[in-house]
Structures are given as structure tokens and as C-alpha cells.
Amino acid sequence: MNFKGNEVLSVGIDIGTTTMSMIVSRLEMKNTAASYMVPEVNITSKNIIYRSGIYMTPLISRTMLDGEKISQVIADEYHKAGIKPSDVDTGAVIVTGESALKENARVLIEQLSRFAGDFVVSTAGPDLESIIAGRGSGAEEFSKKYGCTVANLDIGGGTTNISVFSCGELLGQTCLDAGGRLVIYDPASRRISYVSKRLNDAAALYGASFSEGSIADELTLHRAAGFLADAIIDSLRFSHREITRVTTTSGSSPLVLSDPVQYVSFSGGVADCYYNDINDVYTYGDLGPALAQELKKRVPGEGFTVIRPTETIRATVVGAGTYMTNVSGSTISYNEDIFPIKNLSVLVVSPDSEELLYRGEPGKLIEELRWYLGQSQQDNAAICIKGKEKISYGELRNLAESLLETDRSAIDRALPLIIICENDMAKALGMVIRRSAGIQKSILCLDRIKARSGDYIDIGYPVMDGIAVPVVIKTLIFG
């Protein structure tokens, strides 16, 4: 690893349905606590130092990504940026939209791992992509700065990723099968060469359908785009029509909002059509311009104020490169160099099981962990507990003994015991566990990290003189 003081070099790569791109950024970490308080390490600045061009995503066929060409593009961009894989500390490779459904998406991730240095992760998943795009676009920061509710609509070739933020907090996210490349045609002959089944599923609600080989006249394009625009707008309402259910991407779910949306911002490729007033619907040989026009017709009637985000087409890659990395709390505990840790599955302990741990009763957790490891086909998992803000020594000792018994019963002794606490108690817990376990057991306790069962985490080398570690939480979903 090549830390420069308290700086981390981060790379973000986004391989989308239509386009792919890369950014390089520097993340600066500082102790933001007062000198007389317990250190609190945070990422204090995120500076993009290199932006690649926007490339059309190379394909071998409709169902296969061209891994060789994609790898060459990334290699060329590394050279242009003046960096090597060994320079990179953190970041993300995001395979998004319809690209995540390609037959060789997982193989591509493995091919790109040679650009990962020690700590770049590979992730995909519709809801996670929505959040990343919302943060990368600047919508999250806008909602925080102005104390309002903002929905970011990241509209690409295959999907629309929606995230809603209120006063800087995430209210919800969803993903729709609605994008500019659900219809593709030859701009010269205007003959349709591709129609997504997902478009026809939506069109069937209106008694319509579209077929390959037919002519993409202006009326046809606007009609198809109108169905998709209806779905996008409907998804932002408190109650949804059937069009939202039909178009919601597998692995996602419709938004359930407690506050009305006040502002909307658009990112992704279609956003450029929206903000740049591209009037010729035949510009790109797809639905992008028509979809932007149909959205412009509908947005005023919903009472939203449209804002232009900081990032449009690069929102996802900026989010991947600058927002995927978290920092643990400063009261962590580890007893040897086991870093970096990559692709470690997470089990969140149920509230009932956690309460039993404080009583010294690990049986229920042992059953949960054995089941989880069997289902996920993993040898080890990070055990994630809520933790207590105020805990007695007796409860702490019972918790430590219960976690060690769980480890002895369900995990290979050669593997490290990794505990994640949401509340600030990792150092004390780690000390008590180590006292009972002895020096032969590798133990890592982290706090201030919130994850969900089924997530995966990457844990990098300690920073800030060893008082914190960078952590990436990711969701791996391939169709």
C-alpha cells in the first residue's frame, strides 16, 4: 500500500449498459475530535484527480461483455492517469444496469481484479447503485445543505436508479427497468433491431407492444418513452400504480416515502439529453432523447423543482470512487497483521440472539452462524452486533465468552474472529476476548460500521497510526 500521510488513493470504475468510465481520487482522513477526547477518524476531503473519457461499453453480443476490450480500456486509462495497480488503496468496480445481467459479468470482475491493487472491490446491485449514484451526483449533499428532500433519478441505458435524501439522510431507494437502450434502431433506416422484454411488459398494461424489424417513427419512440416516463414519475408518489410494480427491477422494491419529494435531479446518460435540450429523437438510435422529452412533459405537473446535479453521466463512477469507503471507529482492536481482508461475508446477529449473548448463552447464534455459512458456502463471516452504549463488565465478559464459543463451534480455528459493532465498544470487547482466547487466536473488532446480512466487506490496512481502518461495504448481485 502507498499511503501518503493520511491520504488514500481511490479508483472508481463503472461498466454500465451503454457506457463505461473511470475516475481517480484522493481521500483525506483526519482525526476530527478535540485533543482531549477519544480520537474520531473521518474522511474529510474527496478530490477527483483524474477523469477518464466516456466509452461505449464493449460487447461481444447482446448477452456477453467483451472482457478483453474492457480490460484494455482500463489499462490505457491507468497509464494516462499515471498510476499502477499497486498504487491503489481503495475504490470499486461497479457493473451496472443490463451489464450486470450479462452471462460473463462475474468473469469480467475477476479479469479486472488485476487492476485492483490490494484493496479495490467489485460490486453490483440495483439498490446499492441507486445510492452510489445519488451520492455521486451531489443530491445527498444538496439535501443536507438546504434541509430539503431530493430525489436523484439516474437514468442510463437499461435502468433508472432512484435515491431519495432528506436533510442528508437516505429515505429510500429503488431501481426500475426503464432506460434509453430498451429500444435500439438504425438511425439511417430507423428499423428497430432490439426491443427489451421489460419494455413490452410495461407496454402491455396500455394494450401496446413493440417488435424488432418495425420502423421507429417519432410517434412510436414517444409512445414507448412515455410508458417508461410514467413508471419513473409514478415511483416517486406515495401510492403506486401497476406500472411501478411491473417495471421494478428484480432485487429491488418500490419506494415507500414518509416525506414528499421537493426537488428532483437527473443523472446518467439520459440526463444529458434532459438538461441539454436534445430535440432530435433520432440522435443516438435509442429512446434516450424521447425519454428526456417525455419526462419534461410530466415533471411540472408533479410539483417538483428540477435542479442540475454536480455530476450527470459520471454520477455512478464518482460515487463508486469517492463514497464507497467508510472509516471504522478509532477504538478498534486487532492483534496481528491480517490485512487486507477481502470479500468477507457479514452475518447480522438477530436482536434475540444478541440479547442472549449478554447472558452468556451463545446457542442461538451458533445455530444462526452454522446455517448462514452453509447457505453462503463460506468458511468465515464477520459477526455484526448492535452493541450497547452502556454495558456492564459482566455483560461484556459474557459477550466475549459467547463469541469465542461461537467461534470454536462454527468457524475453523485457523481463521480470524472478526466482530463488527455498530456502537463504540470494539476496543474493550477485543481486549476481553483476547484475554480469554490467548495469543494464538487472530482477533479483529471494529466499531462504528453498519452492515446488513448478506453484505460483503473489504478491510484495508490501518491508517492514522493504526487507530482506524478503511472499510468498504458492498452487495454482490449478478443476474
Is residue 106 in some structural domain? yes
pLDDT on residue 343:
81
Q: State phi, psi for 101 to the nearest 5 degrees.
A: -95, -5
Measure the N-to-C terminal CA separation of the chain; round to a whole number of Å: 33
How far apart, in whole angstroms, are the C-alpha atoms of residue 97 and residue 270?
Answer: 14
CATH number at residue 97: 3.30.420.40
Write out pLDDT tens, residues 440-470. Answer: 788 999 988 888 777 788 888 887 777 788 8
Concatenate the DSSP letters of all residues of 223-260 into one string: HHHHHHHHHHHHTTSSS--HHHHHHBPTT------SS-
> Which of 249, 277, 309 is where one domain is finished?
309
Q: Are residues 405 and 286 in the same domain?
A: no
In 52-199, at which residue ranges do the beta strands (DSSP E only) sit? 55-56, 59-61, 64-65, 90-95, 121-123, 149-155, 160-166, 169-176, 183-185, 192-195
pLDDT on residue 177:
96
Q: Are residues 12 and 85 in the same domain?
A: yes
Is residue 131 in some structural domain? no
Which three three-digit cell numbers place residue 427? Answer: 476496543
Is residue 108 in some structural domain? yes
Q: Are residues 278 and 373 in the same domain?
A: no
pLDDT on residue 4:
45
Whether 88 contacts 116, CB under 8 Å: yes
> Which of 309, 343, 361 is where one domain is finished?
309
Q: Are residues 350 and 414 in the same domain?
A: yes
pLDDT on residue 41:
66
Q: Are residues 339 and 403 in the same domain?
A: yes
Is residue 1 in some structural domain? no
> Which of 262, 279, 309 is where one domain is finished?
309
Closest CA to 11 of 319, 470, 454, 442: 319
Is residue 20 in some structural domain? yes
Q: Residue 206 belongs to what domain range?
A: 139-309
Q: How many CB atoms lie within 10 A of CB 302?
A: 13
H/E element holding 13? Answer: strand 7-15
Is residue 315 in some structural domain? no
Whether 313 contacts 426, CB under 8 Å: no
Is residue 323 in some structural domain? no
Which residues on neighbouring strands pair with residue 94, listed in sequence order? 14, 123
User: Residues of the chain whose pLDDT is less than 50?
Assistant: 1-5, 36, 478-479
Cell numbers 436523484 correspond to: 152
How far apart, in whole angstroms, are the C-alpha atoms of residue 16 and residue 268?
Answer: 10
Q: Are residues 143 and 120 in the same domain?
A: no
> Count of domains in the chain?
3
Q: Are residues 293 and 162 in the same domain?
A: yes
Q: Are residues 107 and 164 in the same domain?
A: no
Q: Are residues 196 and 303 in the same domain?
A: yes
Whether 381 contacts 372, CB under 8 Å: yes
pLDDT on residue 289:
97
Is residue 278 in some structural domain? yes
Q: Are residues 152 and 296 in the same domain?
A: yes
Q: Are residues 25 and 146 in the same domain?
A: no
Q: Are residues 296 and 150 in the same domain?
A: yes
Whether 160 contacts 154, CB under 8 Å: yes
Write out pLDDT tens, residues 193-242. Answer: 999 999 999 999 999 999 999 999 999 999 999 999 999 999 999 999 99
pLDDT on residue 1:
40
pLDDT on residue 457:
87
How far apart, in whole angstroms, are the C-alpha atoms of residue 472 and residue 44?
Answer: 17
